[in-house]
Structure 1
């Protein structure tokens, strides 16, 4: 579990550093997660320590969103002024997530039936 948390923090720090050096308008944590995804694609497997940590953190996922929500509330005036883009991003983001999840499930079920 400690390995997984250390890896996540290290990748977040790496993402923050890349964002600052490159001047990208992205959160460093997003860049770090893309780096994690790329690393997992290259490895073609999930290291055991990372998998154990992910399984331990997954049931507590809602707690991990609290800082993001409170961060948005720090900029409530801007959200109130620009609510339409937030609403559109939320609706389209949810729709895209639903479609991708359905397609992934369909693919996994087909793969399981073929095995």
Structure 2
């Protein structure tokens, strides 16, 4: 278990270091997770080492929400006065995300469906 936790934290550290030194707009843990994914694809045998520990960490994931709950309690007064701004931002960004996803999906379906129709009459490539 110690070896797996070390590997998980090492990839997070590498991701944080890359994000900080290269001034990337992506959070370090996301970069570390992508690097970990690449490592696990490259070395499938490592999955057996990390999987039990990762599942155990996921089982206790709810504990990571305790600091967020404490923050809500600590800043409850501010949330009461400015919470509507946060709500507008969250709902607005969700609506924009859904709309953009739908438009991109429509475009992709139209674009690739047109390619399929064009390719249907073509000779098969050897």
TM range (shorter): 0.5 to 0.7
Match of 1:86 in 2: 90
* 66 and 32 in structure 1: CA distance in 2 versus 1, 3 angstrom threshold: farther
Aligned length: 92
RMSD of aligned alpha carbons? 3.5
1:11 and 2:15 correspond:
no
Q: Please list, as runs of the form range in 1=range in 2, the aligned pairs for 1:49-64 lying within 5 A after superposition.
A: 49-64=49-64
Q: Please list, as runs of the form range in 1=range in 2, the aligned pairs for 1:101-112 lying within 5 A after superposition.
A: none
Tell me which stretches of 4 or more aligned residues in structure 1 moved more than 2 Å.
44-49, 64-67, 69-74, 76-89
Gaps of 5+ in 2: 99-126
Task: Supply the distance in 1 between the matched residues of 2:70 and 2:16 (Cα, whole angstroms).
Answer: 17
Task: Supply the distance in 1 between the matched residues of 2:53 and 2:66 (Cα, whole angstroms).
Answer: 20
Please give the TM-score of this superposition, normalised by the length of structure 1: 0.58
* 78 and 72 in structure 1: CA distance in 2 versus 1, 3 angstrom threshold: farther
Task: Supply the distance in 2 between the matched residues of 1:50 and 1:29 (Cα, whole angstroms).
Answer: 17
Task: Supply the distance in 2 between the matched residues of 1:15 and 1:65 (Cα, whole angstroms).
Answer: 22
Match of 1:111 in 2: none
Gaps of 5+ in 1: 94-115
Task: Supply the distance in 1 between the matched residues of 2:7 and 2:90 (Cα, whole angstroms).
Answer: 31
Match of 1:107 in 2: none
CA drift of 1:27 comes to 1.5
CA drift of 1:70 comes to 5.6
